[in-house]
Amino acid sequence: MNFISGVVFIKEVVVISLMGWGLLNVIAIALCAMMVGGVRLHINGSRNFCDGERIVGSVISIAGLMLELVLFVLMNNDNAAIIPIFDSFGLTDRTGKYEVTVTADADMNEFQERYEIIGYENGVYTIKVREN
């Protein structure tokens, strides 16, 4: 994408697709099932006085909890850590929006004619190219 002079490109705004959100939900549900299964195995081992089942159940449950926490950490901060992973698998959607900054060289009249300003925060504009 070519921008007018004085406009500095930062990044393209990308969001997780519907298929990506479905995959995240399936992963979260599978990890919850893993935790519940581990707890059930631990309880069953306690009833049968089987130390092996108790230990394996505890390990499975704790591993499921840790993986669930990793998933939530990756999804934190507007999914910034998980979007590159999903983008490599084609599970993201391009929005046609860009984050840019404007230097003193930019003509603001031309900027406002060419781009629709979606948002502004801390000197960063979120813009969409106007269709002529």
- The answer on 123 and 79 residing in a single domain is no
d(CA 51, CA 59): 12
- Domain hosting residue 128, numbered range: 1-15+93-132
Number of structural domains (the chain) is 2
Assess whether pLDDT exceeds 90 at residue 77: no
Say whether pLDDT at 118 is over 90: yes
Taking residues 35-52, what's their average pLDDT?
85
Whether residue 66 is found in the same domain as residue 37: yes
Please compute, for residue 118, the number of CA atoms within 13 A of its CA located in the half-sphere on the CB side.
Answer: 12
Which helix (H) or strand (E) is 121 found in, with range?
A: strand 115-121
The reply to whether 41 and 4 lie within a common domain is no
State whether 43 and 77 are in the same domain. Answer: yes
Whether residue 82 is found in the same domain as residue 112: no
Q: Is the pLDDT assigned to residue 82 strictly greater than 80?
A: yes
26 lies in the same domain as 72: yes
